[in-house]
Amino acid sequence: MPTNPITRRDFIRTGTAASAAAVLRPKTRPFAGPVAIASGNGLAAVARAVEEINAGADALDAVIAGVNLVEEDPNDTSVGYGGLPNADGIVELDSAVMHGPTGRAGAVASIQGIKYPSKVAQHVLQRTDHVLLVAKGAQEFARMHGFPIENLLTDRAREIWVRWRENLSNRDDYLPPHGPEDRDLGEAMRRNYDHWGTIHCSAIDLQGNISSVTTTSGLAFKIPGRVGDSPIIGAGLYCDNEVGAAGSTGRGEANLENCSSFLIVERMRMGDSPEQACLYACERIAQHTHLARLQNEAGEPAFNVSFYALNKAGEVAGARIRGKGRMAVADANGSRHIDMAYLYA
Ligand code: GLY
């Protein structure tokens, strides 16, 4: 069941009414000051972003400074340095940025050895006529701009990867620690490591301009070269300076197939609140999830995707497909976690 303040049925009714109205400009109220939002792992990031904005920074520089704290944190195994590696034990990162005032975007995907992929994405935006650079080309571009090539695989992440590899199958030659009496080693832990981490952060600065960033190490133990939603404009994030911004974490494949961040911003343009728009995107993914392997016994998506949105008026909210969750917000009242809406308990 959905959570308050909007039920699923109310949401559908509200969404239909908003469509019928076909409002092309969002309703706005006076904007009272800077605001930043992020996924739940971004409490320090939103605080830093608002600090930077209050010191005069543009929203794009502010959100990047915010997520840099998480990219460099060895204890966050879902982003940047310390992120869980691909199936071969190599950390591959994805990131995108979008700058509201210029409508420009920049992104990198499958980049290796660069601790701050969000900064490289910003360089793509500012120092190329392109939007997306990938793999070796992205790394060479970063090197050209003075980014050091570093080993991003921490001992902690390496040990988790080794445990995953050793428990992937009881029919290969990798063995987890075991005693002389143990049989049938492996496989049991496999599903425990199906996880997607990421940080998204969007903000409005003192000029009322909006910008966004999403950065991630992606799906843990992914097939090398797999790219999720985070570096794809319109999926992992979208920003329109006249309307608002949205971003995502969770199962990137579902988001890639539904262009959800673009959808959320367009729903806000039509008059949805940030929460209504995020729930609309969750509902769209649920409607498009047809494969039994992706559903639970009730026919609902068995995975999660979370969305975070703010509008031009500084209203913020988030929603998830499954279960309670919290997102980070910072504004004139300080930084805190707030509850997110959800479609299914
Ligand atoms: N949402 C992050 C990913 O799927 O890579």
- Over residues 247-278, the pLDDT tens digits come to 999 999 999 999 999 999 999 999 999 999 99
Q: Which residues line ligand 1 (CB under 6 A)?
A: 196, 198, 216, 218-219, 228-230, 249-250, 252
Statement: residue 297 has pLDDT above 50: yes
* Mean local confidence (pLDDT), 311-335: 96
CA-nearest residue for atom 5, ligand 1, is: 218
**pLDDT reading at 156 higher than 90:** yes
Range of weakest confidence among 10-14, 68-72, 155-159: 10-14
Q: Residue 63 to residues 156, 321, 345: CA-CA distances in angstroms? A: 27, 25, 31
In 3D, which of 29, 28, 50, 27 has the Cα closest to residue 38? 50
> At 276, is the secondary structure helix, strand, or coil?
helix
**H or E stretch covering 248:** strand 244-250
Residues 344 and 338: their CA atoms lie apart, in Å, by 18
Q: What number does the ligand 1 atom closest to the CA of 250 have?
A: 1
Whole-angstrom distance, CA of residue 233 vs CA of residue 212: 10
Cβ within 8 Å of residue 22, ≥6 positions away: 270
The pLDDT of residue 2 is 36
Mean pLDDT of 9-27: 43
Which of 118, 214, 226, 251 most suits a substitution to test ligand 1, by most atoms within 8 Å of the C-beta?
A: 251
How far out from the chain centre does Cα 237 lie?
7
Q: Which of the residue ranges 30-39, 47-56, 83-92, 148-157 would you say has the lowest mean pLDDT? A: 30-39
Name the pLDDT band for 189 (thresholds 50, 70, 90): low
- Please provide the average confidence, as pLDDT, over all residues in the chain: 90
Q: Could you tell me the distance, in angstroms and rounded to a whole number, from the CA of residue 216 to the centre of ligand 1?
A: 7
Give the integer Cα–Cα distance in Å for 74 and 150.
13
Residue 173, SS3 per DSSP: coil
Active site residue 28: no
Measure the N-to-C terminal CA separation of the chain; round to a whole number of Å.
6
Beta partners for 284?
none
CB within 8 Å of 86: residues ≥ 6 apart: 92, 221, 222, 223, 224, 226
- CA atoms in the 13 A half-sphere facing the CB of 180: 0
Tell me: pLDDT of 7 over 70: no
CA dihedral 119, 46, 200, 324 (to 10 degrees): 160
Give the pLDDT band (50/70/90) at residue 177.
confident
pLDDT at 183 (0 to 100): 79
Q: Which of 77, 154, 198, 289 is catalytic?
A: 198
Distance 234 CA to ligand 1 centre (A): 14
Name the DSSP letter for residue 180. Answer: T
pLDDT digits (tens, 9 = 90+) for 92-120: 999 999 999 999 999 999 999 999 999 99
235 CA distance to ligand 1 middle (Å): 10
Phi and psi, residue 339, nearest 5°: -75, 150
